[in-house]
Amino acid sequence: MADSQQISTGAKTGAHADLAVNMLHSPKERAVEYALGFCALVSVLTTLGIAAVLLVESLHFFAEVSIVEFLTETRWTPQFIDKHFGIWPLLSGTLLVTVIAALVALPIGLMSAIFIAEYAPERVRKVLKPGLELLAGIPTVVYGYFALTFVTPLLQTFVPGLNIYNALSAGIVVGVMIIPMVSSLSEDAIRAVPRSLAEGAYALGATRIEVVLRVMVPGAVSGIVASFILALSRAIGETMIVTLAAGAMPNLTANPAESVQTMTAFIVNVSLGDTPQGTVEFYSLFAVGLVLFLMTLSMNFLANLIIRRYRERY
Amino acid sequence: METNERNGSSPAGQGASEGAKVRVENLDFWYGANHVLKDVSLDIRANEVTAFIGPSGCGKSTLLRCLNRMNELIPDTRLEGRVLIDGRDIYRNADPVMVRRRIGMVFQKPNPFPKTIFENVIWGARVNGYKGDEADLVETCLRKAALWEEVKDRLHAQAYGLSGGQQQRLCIARTLAVAPDVVLMDEPASALDPIATAKLEETILQLKERYTIIIVTHNMQQAGRISDRTAFFYMGELIEADATEQLFTRPSRKRTEDYITGRFG
C-alpha cells in the first residue's frame, strides 16, 4: 500500500516537471518530420526538374527550328538530309492510336465495371475483379510483342492491305492494356454511389438496368469520366506497344491500316540510335517530349477539374 | 393468431368481411442462418394506417421489406409463406418490379436522387411509362405530400437544398407518383426534428383516405397518434395486433404490456 502510494506521488511530480518539455520539438520528432518532408519533396522536385530540363533543352531546338514551322509543317524528317520538323505526323500517330484504344477500352471498361458493380454475384466478382486487374500487371513489352506477332497476323486475315506495322493493331492492344484502369476506377465510382439511392429507385418499380443507367452511372459520372481521361493519358504516353507494333514511319494519316509513328516511339528510336548530342535532331527529342508532357499534364488537370465540377453530391 | 376481428375504432364500413388489403400468411424469413421472422400472419386493412412496433431487431422492418420484395435485393435470404395483396400472391408468378409499383416505400433516411425536385417526383412515373402531363402529376403528388406550397417556386432547384423533413415529404411525393395502393414507411420520421415529424404525421393522416399505409416506428407516441391498428413484434414473432387504442390501453399479452409501459425495449 505504502509503496504504491509513493510510486503514484512520484509519477505525479514527474508529470508536472515534464509539462515544460516540448516533445514536438525534440530532436527525434524533428528528425522524423524532416525525413518525411524530404521524401515528399523528392517527387515534387523530380517532376519540376524534368519539366525544367524539357523546357531548357527544347529552347535549343526552337532556336534552330521556328515554333511556326514546328506547328504548321506537315513533315517530320529529322534524320533525312532535307530536314523538316513538323509535329503533326507524330501527333496524328499518337492521336490515331489513342482514339482506337479509347474505342476499345472505354465501352468494354465501363460495361465490365457496371457488370462487376451491379450484376455479378459476390463469387463471380471475387474472381473477375482481380482477374481484370491482372491485365494491368502484364509488362508492356509483352503486349507489344503480342500485338506484332498475334494481333496483326490475325487482323491481316480480314483487313486486306494491312501493313505489318499498323496503328490498328497497336491501338487495339493499347486499348486492352488500359481496360483495367477504366473498369477498376469506374467500378469504384459506381460502388461509391450510396446504396440508399439504388434502393429508392428499386422501390419505385425500376428495373435493374433502369437503376444502373439512371441512378448509378449518373451518380458516378465524375469518377467514370476521370477514369476515362486517366486511361487516355496513359494511352498517349504508352511507348513499348507502339514502338514494336505501330512502326517507325512518321506519317500524317487517319488510316489505321497504315504504319504510323507516335511521339513516344520517335523518342525511343532516336534515343536508341546514334544521334550525336548537340544536333538539332537530338534537341528535337526534348521538344517532342515537352509536347507529350503538356498533353498528359493537361489531361490530368482536366480529369481533376471534371471530378470537382461534375460530382453529384449525395 | 386472430388479427382480423372487427373492432369499434375502425373507420365506418371497414371490416373483416371485406377481406384484407394485404394479408401475410405464415411468413418465415431468414438472413443466411438467422431466422428473423417466425410464422407471422397478419391482415392489413385498406385505407387505414397500420403501425409495426417493437424493440430493435424484432423483425418489424424486415416484415415491411417483405411486403414489397425489397429483401430479395440482399443476397443469401430465404422466405417461406405467403404475402397477398387484394388476394393475389406477390411472390408466386409475380414480377418484383410490378409488385413495387403497387406497393411503394419510403425509407428511414430521406434518399432523394441528386436531381431537381421536379425530376425526383417524376422519376418513378417516367420509368413506369407515364405519358400524361408531367407538370400536372408533379403538382398533384407534391400537394398530396403537403410539400407543394413550400417548393412551388423552385421546382427546378436541387432536392438536396431542402430540409430533412421536406426531403422526406419529397420521397413520399415521388412514391405517390407511381400510383401505388399501399405505401410502406420504414421509420420515416427517425431522422427528423419534432416540428418536421408533426408535419409528416399530418401528411400521413391525409394520405390514408386514398392509400393503405403501413408504418414501422420506434416511437410509441407516434404509433398512438397516427395509426388505426398496431402490431407488436418481439424476437421475430408477432405478439399482438389490434386496434391501436385497444392495444395501448388493454393489451391482451403480458409482453405487449411490458413493452408499451416501458418495462423493456
Q: Higher pLDDT residue, A74 or B38?
A: B38
B209-238 mean pLDDT: 93
**pLDDT digit of tens for each residue in chain A (314 aa)?**
444 444 444 444 555 567 777 777 788 888 999 999 999 999 999 999 999 999 999 999 999 888 888 888 888 888 778 888 889 999 999 999 999 999 999 999 999 999 999 999 889 999 998 888 888 889 999 999 999 999 999 999 988 888 899 999 999 999 999 999 999 999 999 999 999 999 999 999 999 999 999 999 998 988 999 899 999 999 999 999 998 988 888 888 888 888 899 999 999 988 887 778 888 888 899 999 999 999 999 988 888 888 887 765 65
Q: Report CB contact under 8 Å: B113, A207.
A: no
Dist. CA B166–CA B148, nearest whole Å: 10
For residue A119, count other CB atoms closer than 10 A to its CB: 12
Q: B10-14, B40-44, B100-104: which range is least confident on average? A: B10-14
Cell of A49: 526538374
Kindly report the three-state secondary structure assignment for every residue of B128-174.
CCCCCCHHHHHHHHHHHCCCHHHHCCCCCCEHHHCCHHHHHHHHHHH
Whole-complex ipTM: 0.88
Closest partner CB to A313 (pick from B104, B124, B160)? B160
pLDDT tens digits along B104-155: 999 999 999 999 999 999 999 999 999 999 999 999 999 999 899 999 999 9
Residue A72 CB contacts under 8 Å (≥ 6 apart), including other chains: A86
pLDDT-derived band at B10, boundaries 50, 70, 90: very low
Kindly state whether residue B245 falls inside one of the protein's structural domains.
yes
* A220: nearest CA partner in chain B: B114
- Give yes or no for B217 touching A (CB within 8 A): no
Q: What was the pLDDT predicted at B224?
A: 93
Tell me which of A204, A217, A222 to substitute to probe the interface with B (most B C-beta atoms closer than 10 Å).
Answer: A204
* A208: nearest CA partner in chain B: B97
Dist. CA B119–CA B155, nearest whole Å: 9
Residue B119: domain span = 16-260
Q: Report CB contact under 8 Å: A203, B100.
A: yes
- Give yes or no for A282 touching B (CB within 8 A): no
Tell me which of B113, B120, B126 to substitute to probe the interface with A (most A C-beta atoms closer than 10 Å).
Answer: B113
Q: Is A313 helix (H, G, I), strand (E, B) or coil?
A: coil
Rg of chain A in Å (alpha carbons): 27
Kindly state whether residue B101 falls inside one of the protein's structural domains.
yes
CB contacts of A313 in chain B (<8 Å) are 114, 160
We report the CATH number of the domain holding residue B79 as 3.40.50.300
Kindly state whether residue B1 falls inside one of the protein's structural domains.
no
Q: What was the pLDDT predicted at B14?
A: 36
- Give yes or no for A43 touching B (CB within 8 A): no
Q: Report CB contact under 8 Å: A203, B107.
A: yes
Kindly state whether residue B3 falls inside one of the protein's structural domains.
no
* A204: nearest CA partner in chain B: B124
Kindly state whether residue B184 falls inside one of the protein's structural domains.
yes
CB contacts of B68 in chain A (<8 Å) are 203
Q: Residues B264, B84: contact at Cβ < 8 Å?
A: no
Please calculate the CA angle B4-B189-A219 and round it to the nearest 5 degrees. 115
CA distances (Å), origin B110, targets A314, B173, B186: 11, 12, 11
Beta strand B49-53 pairing with B212-216: parallel
pLDDT tens digits along B146-183: 899 999 999 999 999 999 999 999 999 999 999 999 99
Kindly state whether residue B11 falls inside one of the protein's structural domains.
no
Kindly state whether residue B10 falls inside one of the protein's structural domains.
no
Dist. CA B7–CA B11, nearest whole Å: 10
Give chain B's domain count.
Answer: 1
Q: Report CB contact under 8 Å: A197, B107.
A: no
Q: What was the pLDDT predicted at A313?
A: 61
Asked if pLDDT for residue B7 goes beyond 50, the answer is no
Closest partner CB to B105 (pick from A203, A210, A313)? A203
- Give yes or no for B74 touching A (CB within 8 A): no
Q: Is A265 helix (H, G, I), strand (E, B) or coil?
A: helix
Q: A11-25, B19-33, B195-209: which range is least confident on average? A: A11-25
* B168: nearest CA partner in chain A: A200
Kindly state whether residue B136 falls inside one of the protein's structural domains.
yes
CB contacts of A201 in chain B (<8 Å) are 113, 123-124, 127
Q: Report CB contact under 8 Å: A196, B111.
A: yes
